[in-house]
Amino acid sequence: MFINLRRIIKFGWQNLFRDGGLAAATVFILVLAISLATSLFLLKDIGQFLITSLQEKADISVYFKARALEDDILNVRQELSKIPEIKEIKYVSKEEALSSFVEKHKGSPILIESLEEVGGNPFLASLNIKAFQPEQYQKVTNFLDNTLYKDLIEKVDYYQRKPVIERIFSLTSIINRSGILLSLILAILAILVTFNTIRLAIYNSGEEIKIQRLVGASNWFIRGPFLVQGAISGIFATLICLLIFTLISWQLSPRIEFFFPGLNLFQFFISNFWTVVLIQLVAGVGLGIVSSAIATRKYLRI
């Protein structure tokens, strides 16, 4: 048994390099298929990061009158925190609002001078509220309209921001559905292309397989070298893909982070390194072996 296994591995290795052109084509197609699988994994999490970033911009603010005491505002926040639909509540004092405005517009002398002309602190204390879903903001607004502290509230900007909030959540929903559909289409195309490429490589060995059948070779002995050949091709393709994605993530990470602060592609790749390796091995070796097994079945039928 071990002698046959050793022969199968040896023949599989020899078959891989017997026709260098087809072997290179097979590895190249597997590289594309593995790259697709890896890209789908990385883009899924990157897409989720972008979706979360978009949803973070969907919020409403409750502005309190100048006479409102901080304790009363904190009591309102305490009451709001009991609403399960609310994801996060942040209290912004008048001083913090002023400091944030100055920091944001420090490059605009006209705005700073206008602020100085007004004198004092014209900003109001507020609560910044984030909900899980866009329709939940209406419930928050209704609660504020009926709270005991409603006389202290200057305004709630929900109705001004409602179109933007709905557009953000609509966009994230479209991104999710489009990503799933695109992933399925690309995965099917990758499998079909890989299978047909390997089948073409095995087609050249059709006569050899028939001869082996005539002399009494078992199906396992005939099919084994092709399975080994597919596995070795998958391993080579995995190593190539691993190198390519390491270099790409390292090179693109600073540029991507410039446009999307907080999204460090290289750090994400390194933190998921072994998951990426597993995905690439399963995609490469799995496609190589399964495609070889299916492609040889035609020649093993009696």
**Arithmetic mean of pLDDT, 130-140:** 80
Please state, for a pLDDT cut of 70, what percent of the chain lies above it: 72
* Mean pLDDT of the residues in the chain: 77
DSSP code per residue over 243-295: HHHHHHHHHHHHHHHHHSTT--HHHHHHHTHHHHHHHHHHHHHHHHHHHHHHH
CA–CA separation, 260 and 47 (whole Å): 12
Token digits for 99? 């400091």
pLDDT, greater one: 165 or 228: 228
Among 17-21, 206-210, 268-272, top mean pLDDT goes to 268-272
Domain regions of the chain by residue span: 2-54+169-300, 59-133
Give start and end residues of each alpha helix (H) in the chain. 2-18, 20-56, 70-80, 94-104, 109-118, 136-145, 158-203, 206-214, 219-259, 265-271, 273-300
Alpha-carbon torsion, ordered 155, 161, 165, 167, to 10 deg:
160
Question: Euclidean distance between the first and final Cα of the chain, in Å?
Answer: 24
The answer, yes or no, to whether residue 209 has pLDDT greater than 50, is: yes
The answer, yes or no, to whether residue 7 has pLDDT greater than 60, is: yes
The answer, yes or no, to whether residue 302 has pLDDT greater than 70, is: no
User: 222 and 209 in contact (C-beta within 8 Å)?
Assistant: yes
**Residues near 86 by Cβ (< 8 Å), separated by ≥ 6?**
80, 129, 130, 131, 136, 140
Closest CA to 33 of 281, 270, 266: 281
Task: Give pLDDT tens digits for 10-54.
Answer: 655 666 566 666 677 778 888 888 888 788 777 777 777 766 776
- Per-residue pLDDT at 252: 84
CA–CA separation, 90 and 96 (whole Å): 12
Task: Give pLDDT tens digits for 50-108.
Answer: 667 766 667 888 888 888 888 888 888 888 888 888 888 999 988 888 888 778 777 77
Residue 124 gets the label, from left (phi > 0), alpha (psi -120 to 50) or beta, of beta
0.75 exceeded by pTM? no
pLDDT, greater one: 166 or 94: 94
Buried/exposed code over 226-262 (b: 16+ C-beta within 10 A; e: otherwise): bbbbbbbbbbbbbbbbbeebeebbeeebeeeeeeeee
